[in-house]
Amino acid sequence: MNKNKQLLWQAIKSVLGFFGAFAFVLWALVALTTIVGETAVCALVILSTMIGLVWLEYNNLKTKK
Task: Tell me the pLDDT tens digit for each residue of 3-62.
Answer: 888 877 887 777 766 666 677 777 777 776 665 666 667 777 777 787 788 888 888 888
Asked whether residue 1 carries a pLDDT value surpassing 80, the answer given is no
Choose between 64 and 20: higher pLDDT: 64
Sequence-distant (≥ 6) Cβ neighbours of residue 46 within 8 angstroms: 23, 26, 27, 30
33 by DSSP, 3-state: which?
coil
Conformational region of residue 37, where left means phi above 0, alpha means psi within -120 to 50, and beta covers everything else: left
Q: Which residue has the higher pLDDT, 65 or 31?
A: 31
Q: What is the largest CA-CA distance in the chain?
A: 46
pLDDT at 37: 62
